[in-house]
Amino acid sequence: MLESYIERLQEVQTLDELNDQVVALRDILNVEHLVYHSVNSTGEQYAALTYSPEWTARYIDQDYARIDPVVQACYRRFHPIDWKRLDWSSKPARNFMGEAVDAGVGNQGFSVPIRGPSGQFALFTVSGNTSDEEWSRYTEEHTRDLILVSHFINQKALELERGTDQTAHVNLSPRETDALTLLAMGYSRAQASESLSISEHTLRVYIESARFKMAAMNTTHAVARALSQGLLIV
């Protein structure tokens, strides 16, 4: 189902159509809400989301991005973030979460930070109302799909903004760079995951994310492109 969704996404011609596709993705991923928010190098913003207009207006009016632990963490990190692993101990953060839950955002969330060309930053988030155990199982099963579809949406947003899906420069995260570098050095996936102290599943996530950023047909193609663009030092 996700493959057919990505095919439909490629046909999108306007930001309004992209918004419709983001809304449709909520049902495909079986989550309560879904958000894609992008800020380009000039500060211009684009958002496609399924939150209620009331909560969206409240968030903007109160400038909650200042205290939202999710936003603050995603600015500092490169890997996906499960909300429950963040620090919600401060009173402002707890009050904010209470308001968000009351607004129907959900008690669970998973966010993927995205670094695009020329300083672009985007955030892809899914949220839901489930137990910790159910959410942990959901994210474990869907992390790869969430990362991949987030980058496809971001690529389409850049295409609509710039008029092309070809970007001048690709930014790989530190972990994506590490993963491709070790593969370029001839490490097997098992050796690379051991060297990075991560599981092979997590390594695959970084490799697949890098592959789609590079618009590569396979892992070997991704390594070759990264080397040719000077993104790896081997």
- pLDDT tens across 94-139, in order? 999 999 999 999 999 999 988 776 667 899 999 999 999 999 999 9
State which H helix or E strand residue 226 sits in.
Answer: helix 219-228
Burial class, 81, CB count within 10 angstroms (exposed 0-12 / middle 13-18 / buried 19+) = buried
Q: What is the CATH number assigned to the segment(s) 2-162?
A: 3.30.450.80
Both tokens assigned to 146: 């969430």
Sequence-distant (6+) residues with CB within 8 A of 204 are 144, 189
CA pair distance 36, 46, nearest whole angstrom:
8
Query: Could you tell me the pTM of the whole model?
Result: 0.70
Contact yes or no for 172/224 (Cβ under 8 A): no
CATH of region 174-228: 1.10.10.10
Q: What residue spans define the domains of the chain?
A: 2-162, 174-228
Over the chain, what is the mean pLDDT? 88
Residue range 20-44, pLDDT digits in tens: 999 999 999 999 999 999 987 666 7
